[in-house]
Amino acid sequence: MTKLMRGIRGATTVGVDLPADISAATQELLQAMLERNKVPLDDVISVIFTSTTDLTSIFPASAARDVGFSGVPLICAQEIQVPGSMPRVLRIMMHVYTERSKSEIEHVYIGEAQSLRRDLE
C-alpha cells in the first residue's frame, strides 16, 4: 500500500506555565500521537504547535527536539484569545506519511482537553 500524507491532531492541558510542565505535556502528547497511529519518527513531515496566550515560559518545539524531533521542521504559534476558552491548552498538528486512511487516524486529546472534541470519544 502507498503511504499518503495525513494530519494528526492532538491537544492537552498544562497545569502551570513552567518549562518543565510544558515540556512534559508536549512530550507525552507527541508520544501518544505517534504510538496510537503507529507512525515512526522518520515518517513525520512537520509539526505545528499552538498554545494559549497563558503559556509563554518555553517553546513546545524545544521539548520536541529533546525527544528526537530535531530533524523535523517545527514551528510554534499562539492561539487566538477567545473569551471563555479553556486556559493553558497546547495543541499539535502533526503531518505524517502513513498507510492509514483518514478514518483510521486517531486524534489524541489528553486530560481536560478531551472536552474540546467530544465527537472523537
Residue 114's pLDDT is 85
36 is catalytic: no
Which residue segment(s) compose the domain that 31 sits in? 4-114
65 is catalytic: yes
Collect the ranges in the chain with pLDDT lower than 70: 117-121
Residue 121's pLDDT is 54
109 is catalytic: yes
Query: Among residues 28, 36, 76, 106, which one is catalytic?
Result: 76
| Count of other CB atoms within 10 angstroms of residue 9 | 17
- 95 located within any domain: yes
- 65 located within any domain: yes
Torsion sign, CA atoms 113, 94, 8, 98: negative
76 is catalytic: yes
CATH of the domain at 101: 3.30.1330.40
pTM: 0.93
- 120 located within any domain: no
Number of domains in the chain: 1
Residue 62's pLDDT is 96
- 119 located within any domain: no
- 121 located within any domain: no
Per-residue model confidence as pLDDT tens digits over 39-62: 999 999 999 999 999 999 999 999
In 1-121, which ranges are E strands?
4-13, 44-51, 74-78, 89-98, 108-109
Query: Among residues 28, 36, 112, 117, which one is catalytic?
Result: 117
- 83 located within any domain: yes
